[in-house]
A and B are shown apart, each in its own frame.
Chain A
């Protein structure tokens, strides 16, 4: 039995790790959507976290805990830089600015010698463990539930439902939006660092626009009534292509079809259950 489990784990380690890492990315997306904003910078924040962590490990040999911390702080600084001016405006400016950030990061990583150009960085030691990924995912979920059941959780839901009314309630809208963007950047950076130290290779095209849309689809499929929805969405969208491998070339067609049907018939996501807001 243990040999079976060992074999299973060995064969599917990449997939199992991806489930947890995508779960963290889904939570990162959720943080922004939960206050009624749209960011398409999750992939860029992830990329920043991945590159920062890989460079610190490869060149400076920092301890992994410090590396993970740095992989959260640096994207957070980028979030402050972008969020400061754009979040004062209403509308799609945040989405546009974060798309631009993604392109800047991609092009920079593609050309800079520091980041290994188009070849990316390889030989990153495998320091990510199963316990670490799922421990952090569980910790993040617990914290999200605690936040949800407090004044901050009520403010978030109010902003998502009606920003004008939320403002009239006395909710500090700019601070909430900026805070959400910073937290989401930290989560994405963390996921990027864990991913880099699980795959031993990272390249500039791993963090492009399509990855940003994939992360968005985790949250949209799962639903944003609670933090569990996006994680469920991430699990399904990570497993689905694997379960459909028998379909070979039709895999992506069926994958896309399932997403379209889910969004059409469950516009509020698979998990529409909402979390209580009283602590």
Chain B
């Protein structure tokens, strides 16, 4: 089979079984480059598990993920070096580090100064370190945290930590950025700012795959949506198609409500 279709990320039959529970059950979908792709579903549908499989935090029982034509294999750090980046549902900031240091830590895959170069402060070291610092400050400017660069990351407000996590994830220069519930716990103003930030990332050519519960957020941002329920893919399409899909309505609202809605519109 030749995959001549235009995709950046291709998920093929991804499956993971935890002691009899099939958390992700033969899920396949594709993310087109330059788009925002949503992965939605009720609680426990397997969205975060899907993210963990793609980013290499847990090994799949079967199936695979292919990024830009190359299968993603091995632990997470190798996948980051292959062009994948992600954020976490429960923010995982390096709290003790400063905001700038957090973003610079995101650049690990792009910094190559050897230990002798580091100890002697010669060779690639100074140039690379200065460039990293400049780039970190640019990214902080981009997400609106420039003024907080030298603050302890753990002291930032929740919304600011979310934005810092995005800056840190973008710092690796990924082909695909995966965001796990980026708007969770944000107030409406913060959510609006986040939508705007993510759209700017998209404009810059970055492809986004995101898990989110806030439907308004998902519908206003995503180009395509894949819907999971009980580990299985139940629908896929544009936001409009997904919103009108009876299986999706049933998954979210239950069969009875779906029936009544159908009756109401008929």
Interface residues of A, Cβ cutoff 8 Å to B = 143, 146-147, 150-152, 154-155, 157-158, 161-162, 164-173, 225, 274, 276-279
Residues from 160 to 175 in B contacting A, C-beta threshold 8 Å: 168, 172
Residues B172 and A169 in contact, CB atoms below 8 Å apart? yes
- Chain B interface size, as a band, is 35 or more
Chain B residues lying within 8 Å of A157, measured Cβ to Cβ, are 94, 96-97, 101, 105
B238: Cβ under 8 A from any A Cβ: no
Residues B119 and A170 in contact, CB atoms below 8 Å apart? no
Whose C-beta in chain B lies nearest to the C-beta of A168? B76
Once the chains are docked, how many angstroms separate the CA of A277 from the CA of B55? 27
Once the chains are docked, how many angstroms separate the CA of A124 from the CA of B128? 48
B11 CB to closest chain A CB, in angstroms? 19
Residues B129 and A168 in contact, CB atoms below 8 Å apart? no
Residues B75 and A173 in contact, CB atoms below 8 Å apart? yes
Chain A residues lying within 8 Å of B113, measured Cβ to Cβ, are 150-151
Chain B residues lying within 8 Å of A164, measured Cβ to Cβ, are 57, 76, 92
Residues A168 and B97 in contact, CB atoms below 8 Å apart? no
Q: List 7 A-B contacts (CB under 8 A).
A: A151-B107, A151-B108, A157-B101, A157-B105, A168-B80, A169-B172, A279-B126
B77: Cβ under 8 A from any A Cβ: yes
Given known pairs A165-B92, A278-B101, the reply for A170 and B133 (CB within 8 Å) is no
What is the interface of chain A mostly: helix, strand, loop, or mixed? helix
Once the chains are docked, how many angstroms separate the CA of A169 from the CA of B87? 10
Given known pairs A167-B77, A170-B77, A278-B129, the reply for A162 and B92 (CB within 8 Å) is yes
B261: Cβ under 8 A from any A Cβ: no
Given known pairs A167-B75, A169-B108, A171-B77, the reply for A150 and B94 (CB within 8 Å) is no
Residues A155 and B118 in contact, CB atoms below 8 Å apart? no
Q: A150-B113, A161-B97, A170-B77 are in contact. List 7 more A-B contacts (CB 8 A).
A: A154-B104, A158-B97, A164-B92, A167-B77, A168-B77, A173-B77, A278-B104
Chain A residues lying within 8 Å of B92, measured Cβ to Cβ, are 162, 164-165
Given known pairs A151-B113, A154-B108, A161-B96, the reply for A277 and B101 (CB within 8 Å) is yes
Partner of B81, one of A162, A165, A170, A225: A170
Given known pairs A170-B77, A170-B80, A173-B77, the reply for A154 and B105 (CB within 8 Å) is yes
Whose C-beta in chain B lies nearest to the C-beta of A225? B96
Residues B101 and A154 in contact, CB atoms below 8 Å apart? yes
Chain B residues lying within 8 Å of A146, measured Cβ to Cβ, are 118-119, 121
Residues A169 and B77 in contact, CB atoms below 8 Å apart? yes
Once the chains are docked, how many angstroms separate the CA of A170 from the CA of B106? 8
Partner of B172, one of A143, A165, A170, A225: A170
Residues from 116 to 145 in B contacting A, C-beta threshold 8 Å: 118-119, 121, 125-126, 128-129, 132-133
Residues B129 and A169 in contact, CB atoms below 8 Å apart? no
Residues A169 and B106 in contact, CB atoms below 8 Å apart? yes
Residues B104 and A277 in contact, CB atoms below 8 Å apart? yes
Residues A274 and B96 in contact, CB atoms below 8 Å apart? yes
Residues A150 and B108 in contact, CB atoms below 8 Å apart? no
Chain B residues lying within 8 Å of A276, measured Cβ to Cβ, are 98, 101
Residues A147 and B115 in contact, CB atoms below 8 Å apart? yes
B197: Cβ under 8 A from any A Cβ: no
Whose C-beta in chain B lies nearest to the C-beta of A167? B76
B95: Cβ under 8 A from any A Cβ: yes
Chain A residues lying within 8 Å of B172, measured Cβ to Cβ, are 169-170
B210 CB to closest chain A CB, in angstroms? 16
Residues from 50 to 96 in B contacting A, C-beta threshold 8 Å: 55, 57, 75-77, 80-81, 85-86, 88, 92-96
Once the chains are docked, how many angstroms separate the CA of A1 from the CA of B95? 51
Once the chains are docked, how many angstroms separate the CA of A154 from the CA of B119? 15
Residues B55 and A168 in contact, CB atoms below 8 Å apart? yes
Chain A residues lying within 8 Å of B75, measured Cβ to Cβ, are 167, 173
B111: Cβ under 8 A from any A Cβ: yes
Once the chains are docked, how many angstroms separate the CA of A173 from the CA of B109? 12
Residues A152 and B77 in contact, CB atoms below 8 Å apart? no
State the 8 A-B residue pairs at the shortest beta-carbon distance, nearest first: A170-B109, A170-B80, A165-B92, A167-B76, A151-B111, A279-B129, A150-B118, A170-B108
Residues B101 and A168 in contact, CB atoms below 8 Å apart? no
Chain A residues lying within 8 Å of B105, measured Cβ to Cβ, are 154-155, 157-158, 166, 169, 277
